[in-house]
Amino acid sequence: MTAELLNTIPEFSATGGIRLAPGQSTIPVTRRLLKIIDSSPVQRLRRIRQLSLADRVYPSATHTRFAHALGVYGNILAYLRRLHRFPAFADQFGEKDYLAIMLAGLLHDLGHYPCSHQLDHLDEFPAHELLTVGLLTGDLTLDGENLAEMIWREFAVDPHDVAALLGPAEALPEHLKLLKQIIDSPLDADKCDYLIRDSFFCGIEQGSGFDRERFIANLEPSYERPVLCIHEKGLVSAERFQLSRYWMYRSVYWSHTVRSFITMLSNACHYLKPGAIEPSDAWNRQLLGYNDHNFLEWLLERVSPPGRELIDMAYLSRRPYKRLYTVAFNHEPRTYHRLQEEKVRRPVNQWFIEWAARKGVHLEEHHLIWDVPPIYKTNSWESFPIKLASGIERPIHQESPVIEALGPAFLQGVRKIRLFCHPRLSQLLEAHPKERPHLQEFLK
């Protein structure tokens, strides 16, 4: 690997650019890159909101995955400029490797469809990651455009190599695991964009509190294993980066009202009419053709009345379900674990339906819905090494009491099981506050 490699890749010296805010001023682009950006599979991301239903809580959160994709691409150029200074990194890779990770950054969200993060755990909807791979490898095409052929033609890079960097790290050769860290790690270019972008468009300061330039300027490859680390000169930037992630989860991604809307939507899909969806490549293409609005309108017509009520309240009239119970792991770990099982949750709903009936209020099953965080979201808090001036690498939490405290604080924020209820039940309980039983009474 020569020091001149970056000079041989046109994207690092491009004079043209795309204006992008916040966090970055101009994203440098070349003609060949613009052909990828202007393709149908990428342009459709202009119609997909980054935070789906969060705009019901933060009205200006209407930014798109297209802008995010450009932001991640710009970050990856900055990451590579920084990391290329280290022989431990640069000597392992050639031009095609750099091009592959650049394209992986630009195209990493390619398979997202409206509300995909909220729906792709359901049987009827495909995992967006699989759609991304399908579009990258040419197994799935849109509007007659084969993105894989375009990548081959413009960059002479195997699209499967790009897709591999977005797949599981275990399947990669050891040196490519380090390259993958740029797009998928605790310090990756993805988080470095969406934390700032989401914070800005939600109108809150929590996610924009770290210095992006200082953060990137202190990234280094680990000499002990294929991971990225940060030099101790960037410790404060790393702390603020992790704090931004923690604050955004607490105030936006996992806030109770946002979770209410998300849970209402995913539960509405349980009421899809038989035959409404037949999983196939044709269905995948149809799904990728929707924007946020016409997808929800399409869905509204293909669910039975309970589903229509949920979508109407979440999408058309903005009437979120109210919190009935919140069980935090740090307060009641045993109860939390028990409520992860549906058979334990079901009798709680039934009791309230029968109790409301005795008060003259009719409730149906879909008027009480549970939000149970997926286990993979609540297992652990990601960590990374810090490189001391002496060259010794230590886990970041051993050098920073702030980050050591963030792990438990993050898990405390996201490990919450909530029972949401229709406002009709909430109003009834307000009229009879002493009759609401404690959850433990159901679980004895």
Q: How confident is the model at residue 1 (pLDDT cuts 50, 70, 90)?
A: very low
Give 18's strand partners. 27
* 250 neighbors 204 (Cβ within 8 angstroms): no
d(CA 232, CA 238): 9
What pTM, to 2 d.p., does this model score?
Answer: 0.94
Q: How confident is the model at residue 377 (pLDDT cuts 50, 70, 90)?
A: low
Domain ranges within the chain, ordered by starting residue: 5-203, 321-378+415-444
Lowest mean pLDDT among 62-71, 99-108, 130-139, 328-337: 328-337
Q: What is the pLDDT of residue 439?
A: 86
Q: What is the pLDDT of residue 258?
A: 96
Buried/exposed code over 371-387 (b: 16+ C-beta within 10 A; e: otherwise)? bbbeeeebeebebbbbb
d(CA 386, CA 29): 33
pLDDT digits (tens, 9 = 90+) for 8-50: 999 999 988 999 988 777 999 999 999 999 999 999 999 999 9
**At the fourth CATH level, which superfamily is domain 5-203?**
Hypothetical protein af1432 (1.10.3210.10)
pLDDT digits (tens, 9 = 90+) for 249-268: 999 999 999 999 999 999 99
Residue 2 burial (10 A CB sphere; 0-12, 13-18, 19+): exposed
Q: How confident is the model at residue 2 (pLDDT cuts 50, 70, 90)?
A: low
